[in-house]
Amino acid sequence: MRCLPLIWLFLLTACAGRTLYPLPGKGGKGAKLPIQTSRPYNIAHRGSNGEIPEETAPAYLRAIEEGADFIETDVLSTKDGVLICFHDFTLQNTTNVASHKEFADRNRTYEVQGSNMTGFFTFDFTLKELKKLRTKQRFSFRNQQYNGKYPIITFEEFITIARDAPRVVGIYPEIKNPVLMNQHVKWPGGVRFEDKVVETLKKYGYGGSYLSKKWLKRPLFIQSFAPSSLVYISNLIDSPKVLLIDDVTVLTEDTNQTYAEITSDVYFNYIKQYVVGIGPWKDTVVPVSNNYTQAPTDLVKRAHAHNLKVHPYTYRNENEFLHLNFSQDPYKEYEYWINEIGVDGLFTDFTGSLHNYQEWTSPLSETSKSPRQLLSQIAALVLPYEKA
Amino acid sequence: MNRHFWGKMRDQRIVPKLFARGGTSSQIVYILWVTKTGIFVKCLIWLSLVTLCTGRTLYQRPGKGVKDAATKQPIQTSRPYNIAHRGSNGEIPEETKAAYLRAIEDGTDFIETDILSSKDGVLICFHDVILDLTTDVASRKEFAGRNRTYDVQGFKIPGFFTFDFTLKELKTLRTKQRYAFRDQQYNGKYPIITFEEFLAIAQDAPRVVGIYPEIKNPVLMNQHVKWPGGKRFEDKVVETLKKHGYGGAYLSKQWLNKPLFIQSFAPSSLVYISNLTDSPKVLLIDDVIRPTQDTNQTYAEITSDAYFTYIKEYVVGIGPWKDTIVPVTNNYMLTPTDLVKRAHAHKLQVHPYTYRNENQFLHFNFSQDPYKEYEYWIKEIGVDGLFTDFTGSLHNYQEWASPLPETSKSTRQLLSHIASLVRPYAKA
């Protein structure tokens, strides 16, 4: 009889007591390592797609493991209006759709930005159908061993990956091909593609202007090649937006404007009310001749003069992507862009390499490090003495 | 000097120049002046000749850097050696002066080269026994008839062989970049250099830079080139090194002044020269399927413990092909073999070859990142030196991840102790 209260207490504790470790999926209330804001952002372009097929959960998990500040994705839509993470509007380059006999008749031709394109378009498949597919590595010279393993993920699944990370990891979604999406997919209530993107972000608590307290908890940049989409959503969400800029010969998909026009001072004056930065193709920032970089243009200078950040794309380790000045060395490329050109963020396929470079040459201040990280740093410093 | 003398001096334009020297010269001039002018002119010429022949120039002459070795920044010996494989050949055509100068600029510890011979027995820096792949020889009409086929280590190889060309002829050729995916802009610019020119490059460096020459294809060289006095290819190599002051056991004072490793795939050549020079030697080891060119021994044999016990009398280390140390499957590395462990147990250093930045040479474990490869080989495998085509990248890695100590020895020992204490945390 005397044991009863004890048993009761025991049961109560077992059922109501908290575990000592933080539960998964709950992120930890403010105990997470915050995002760094003191050196250029390391943006994992499509996740660690240098190693794992792009825009899959493992590619994003790997990027977080490797130290990315932001995980980046492209948002497209399915036939039934579900937002997915996928770069191409056709499926054949990065999935095994071509080997699915049941979808053979979905190979169609549509006009996209003035050209006729043939393929399996995302908006011709429901989410259920897309989930049957498996992704593959886009480039043949990258690791093929994960081909056929991972499915396409939804935008919400992507957000969850960021939210569940053991430290604060930002997201960098792109409103991709909005003109095409709005053409082929209709949402109830006349809601547009851009509305759905913002709606999803808000649902997960994203919002807040750049570097605000709210933003630092859930860092976010919304990017797009379509300026009108960014202007459109400026009323819906105050999160920082970035205007992507294509090659010098390409016109904007929505407003049909030239490169020269949207990189002019006049345009910067206008667009800076809506965006915090630009994301140009790096070979337009510093032109190239015979695979050697030439004198930089004044693009970065002028953007900075307008208080616009510059996040160029895309940095890749493979020598075919490295201009000869860099001696086939991706770290020399990072060094040039960060120290000489002074960019504010870099879209990279190899977030681990950029992280290494930054950790070695511009380590973050000690206050943000745990005792274990400090000891790790000391270990690296004194390791050479061990051999002496 | 009286006024009479000065008056006469001013009249003559040449004399003021002599006064610039002052002192004894002026007095001599005065004495000569008061005698006959003809004698004066003769003595002037004589004096000038004496000055020209014996006086030192104010600038340092090339190839004389030797005397200043003591004041040069010494070679580092506290972290694995950065060996510029054929110079910075990732950027500039291999084994040219420009490639070696670039390597020194890039921070290398050692510049590496391969020694072959010309027809007239001059030692040159060149890797292939044929000229086809890295020179413009094929476009030279005057040499069209030199395309021949010889037996090389059991294989019939056609091409333009170095030992079919005199040095003078070789010097008319121009080198080119071996790999199509590397910088082609220097093709046709630089000549082949001699071994002695290579040595001068090292000696003239602004800091102490070691050399790492390979006695290349000695069997073939001795077959096709004869030196007077029955001298062998190996003799000529050592002779040249000694002529330029190289010698001394590993880490001796003499060695630190002029660091040197002599490498070869031919163990008998290294054994042969062990009587001629006490410089440290390194046995290169080819792929698992290749027998040694001189003794016809297998990989298994020359990497056995028994062999290590024997060869360590003659060499300080081995230079294996890195994919035999850590085998590879589907472009992924597997578990390392015990080669490095066993070599180290025999106090043999390990300097694997060759590290290259291009992703086609990087195994997938390294995420197309050459620095991750350096990190693995230095931290996990623990090699003592690395032959790299990209000495600048290795230098960056080492400078960022393990910068050289600035401190004195006692502090160094203390830090070594701390290192062993915190080492486990490095992987956490």
DSSP-assigned states of every residue in A198-234: HHHHHHTT----TTSHHHHHS-B-EEES-HHHHHHHT
Contact list in B for residue A324 (CB cut-off 8 A) is 91, 183, 185
pLDDT of residue B237: 98
**Tokens 């693995």 map to which residue?**
B376
Q: What are phi and psi of B385, to 5 degrees?
A: -170, 160
CA distance B28 to B414: 66
pLDDT in tens, B14-61: 444 544 444 555 565 566 555 555 676 776 767 767 766 665 555 544
pLDDT of residue B63: 47
- The answer to whether B425 and A382 have CB atoms below 8 angstroms apart is no
What's the one-letter identity of residue A208?
Answer: G
| Spatial CB neighbours of A137, under 8 Å, sequence gap ≥ 6 | A49, A52, A53, A54, A94, A143, A144, A146, A147
Query: Is A353's CB within 8 Å of B369's CB?
Result: yes
Identify the DSSP state of B56.
Answer: P
pLDDT of residue B16: 47
Query: Is A350's CB within 8 Å of B330's CB?
Result: no
Contact list in B for residue A330 (CB cut-off 8 A) is 369-370
| Side-chain-side CA neighbours of residue B235 (13 Å) | 10
Tell me if chain A has a CB within 8 Å of the CB of B93.
no
Alpha helical stretches, state H, A290-370: 299-305, 330-335, 351-361
Nearest to A377 by CA among B324, B305, B346, B419: B419
Query: Is B182's CB within 8 Å of A328's CB?
Result: yes
> Looking at residues A37-62, what average pLDDT do you find?
98
Contact list in B for residue A353 (CB cut-off 8 A) is 367, 369, 371-372
CA distance A191 to A200: 13
Tell me if chain B has a CB within 8 Å of the CB of A375.
yes
CA distance A111 to A177: 12
pLDDT in tens, A56-102: 999 999 999 999 999 999 999 999 999 999 999 999 999 999 999 99
> Looking at residues A123-138, what average pLDDT do you find?
98
CA distance B70 to B22: 35
| Spatial CB neighbours of A274, under 8 Å, sequence gap ≥ 6 | A227, A230, A231, A234, A241
Instruction: Please state whether B48 falls in left (phi above 0), alpha (psi between -120 and 50) or beta.
Output: alpha
What's the one-letter identity of residue B208?
Answer: V
pLDDT of residue A31: 74
pLDDT of residue B46: 73
Nearest CB to A328 within list B78, B358, B419 = B358
Query: Would you say residue B368 has pLDDT above 60?
Result: yes
Nearest CB to A360 within list B79, B360, B400 = B400
Contact list in B for residue A50 (CB cut-off 8 A) is 367-368
Tell me if chain B has a CB within 8 Å of the CB of A213.
no
pLDDT in tens, A215-229: 999 999 999 999 999
B41 against B359, higher pLDDT:
B359
| Spatial CB neighbours of B414, under 8 Å, sequence gap ≥ 6 | none
- The answer to whether B133 and B127 have CB atoms below 8 angstroms apart is no
pLDDT of residue A21: 57
pLDDT of residue B158: 97
Contact list in B for residue A143 (CB cut-off 8 A) is 331, 364
Contact list in A for residue B331 (CB cut-off 8 A) is 143
- The answer to whether B213 and B263 have CB atoms below 8 angstroms apart is yes
Nearest Cα of chain B lies from the Cα of A72 at a distance, in angstroms, of: 19
Instruction: Please state whether A107 falls in left (phi above 0), alpha (psi between -120 and 50) or beta.
Output: beta
pLDDT in tens, B120-173: 999 999 999 999 999 999 999 999 999 999 999 889 999 999 999 999 999 999
Nearest to B75 by CA among B110, B29, B124, B28: B110
Cα(first)–Cα(last) distance of chain B, in Å? 87
pLDDT of residue B409: 43
Res. B421 pLDDT band, cuts 50 70 90: low
* Residue of chain A whose Cα is closest to the Cα of B91: A327
For the CA atoms of B308, B313, B317, B318, the dihedral, rounded to the nearest 10 degrees, stands at -50
Radius of gyration over every alpha carbon of chain B, rounded to an integer in angstroms? 28
Contact list in B for residue A141 (CB cut-off 8 A) is 359-360
Give the angle subtended at the CA of B285 by the CAs of B284 and B287, to the nearest 5°: 145
Radius of gyration over every alpha carbon of chain A, rounded to an integer in angstroms? 23
Nearest CB to B90 within list A317, A327, A380 = A327
Three-state DSSP state, B221: helix
Contact list in A for residue B404 (CB cut-off 8 A) is 384
> Looking at residues B376-390, what average pLDDT do you find?
97
Three-state DSSP state, B346: coil
Query: Is A352's CB within 8 Å of B368's CB?
Result: no
For the CA atoms of A315, A317, A320, A324, the dihedral, rounded to the nearest 10 degrees, stands at 80
Interface of B with A in 358-387 (CB under 8 A): 358-360, 364, 367-372, 379
* ipTM (interface pTM): 0.83
| Side-chain-side CA neighbours of residue B170 (13 Å) | 26
pLDDT of residue B33: 56
Cα–Cα distances in angstroms (integers) from residue A245 to residues A210, A310, B270, B404, B410, in the given order: 21, 11, 61, 43, 57
Nearest Cα of chain A lies from the Cα of B414 at a distance, in angstroms, of: 9
For the CA atoms of B161, B163, B167, B169, the dihedral, rounded to the nearest 10 degrees, stands at -40
Query: Would you say residue B388 has pLDDT above 80?
Result: yes
What's the one-letter identity of residue A63?
Answer: A
pLDDT in tens, B304-358: 999 999 999 999 999 999 999 999 999 999 999 999 999 999 999 999 999 999 9
Nearest Cα of chain B lies from the Cα of A377 at a distance, in angstroms, of: 7
Tell me if chain B has a CB within 8 Å of the CB of A37.
no
Tell me if chain B has a CB within 8 Å of the CB of A387.
yes
- The tokens describing B309, both together, are 């016990």
Chain A / chain B CB contacts < 8 angstroms? 124
Query: Would you say residue A366 has pLDDT above 90?
Result: no
Nearest CB to A382 within list B331, B358, B422 = B422
> Looking at residues B75-94, what average pLDDT do you find?
97
Tell me if chain B has a CB within 8 Å of the CB of A371.
no
CA distance B119 to B106: 34
pLDDT of residue A55: 98
In terms of DSSP bridges, do strands B349-350 and B317-320 run parallel, antiparallel, or are they unpaired? parallel
pLDDT in tens, B62-76: 444 444 556 799 999
Contact list in A for residue B330 (CB cut-off 8 A) is 145
Nearest to B208 by CA among B250, B159, B256, B171: B256
Query: Would you say residue B108 has pLDDT above 70?
Result: yes
| Spatial CB neighbours of B75, under 8 Å, sequence gap ≥ 6 | B109, B207, B208, B209, B210, B256, B259
ω into residue B295 within 30 of 0, thus cis?
A: no
- The tokens describing B364, both together, are 């997938």
Query: Is B357's CB within 8 Å of A378's CB?
Result: no
- The tokens describing B155, both together, are 């294989």
CA distance B344 to B385: 13
Give the angle subtended at the CA of B104 by the CAs of A290 and A341, to the nearest 5°: 45
Percent pLDDT > 70 in chain B is: 79
Query: Would you say residue A356 has pLDDT above 80?
Result: yes
Bridge-partner residues for A299, per DSSP? Answer: none
> Looking at residues A286-307, what average pLDDT do you find?
97
Identify the DSSP state of A365.
Answer: P
Per-residue burial over A216-226, b = 16 or more CB atoms within 10 Å of its CB, e = otherwise: ebbbbbbbbbb
Query: Is B418's CB within 8 Å of A378's CB?
Result: yes
Cα–Cα distances in angstroms (integers) from residue B292 to residues A228, A250, B217, B265, B289, in the given order: 70, 59, 11, 7, 10
pLDDT of residue B24: 57
Interface of B with A in 383-412 (CB under 8 A): 390, 392-393, 396, 400-405, 412
Tell me if chain A has a CB within 8 Å of the CB of B422.
yes
Contact list in A for residue B402 (CB cut-off 8 A) is 380, 383-384
pLDDT of residue B32: 53
Nearest CB to B368 within list A332, A350, A387 = A350
Cα–Cα distances in angstroms (integers) from residue A147 to residues A97, A137, B362, in the given order: 12, 6, 20
CA distance A305 to A210: 18
Widest pairwise Cα distance in chain B:
97
In terms of DSSP bridges, do strands B262-264 and B281-285 run parallel, antiparallel, or are they unpaired? parallel
CA distance A224 to A242: 7
Res. A288 pLDDT band, cuts 50 70 90: very high
Res. A2 pLDDT band, cuts 50 70 90: confident
Tell me if chain B has a CB within 8 Å of the CB of A330.
yes
Nearest to B284 by CA among B253, B316, B322, B318: B318
- The tokens describing B248, both together, are 């001394």
Nearest to B369 by CA among B358, B379, B377, B378: B358
Report the mean per-residue pLDDT for chain A: 92
> Looking at residues B405-415, what average pLDDT do you find?
54
- The tokens describing A171, both together, are 């997201």
pTM: 0.82
Contact list in A for residue B183 (CB cut-off 8 A) is 324
Nearest Cα of chain B lies from the Cα of A46 at a distance, in angstroms, of: 15
pLDDT in tens, B261-301: 999 999 999 999 999 999 999 999 999 999 999 999 999 99
What's the one-letter identity of residue A76?
Answer: L
Contact list in A for residue B91 (CB cut-off 8 A) is 324, 327
Interface of A with B in 118-157 (CB under 8 A): 141-143, 145
Q: What are phi and psi of A115, to 5 degrees?
A: -115, 150
A329 against A382, higher pLDDT:
A329
pLDDT in tens, A176-227: 999 999 999 999 999 999 999 999 999 999 999 999 999 999 999 999 999 9
CA distance A242 to A263: 13
pLDDT in tens, B200-225: 999 999 999 999 999 999 999 999 99
Query: Is A350's CB within 8 Å of B367's CB?
Result: yes
CA distance A308 to A264: 13
Query: Is B359's CB within 8 Å of A383's CB?
Result: no
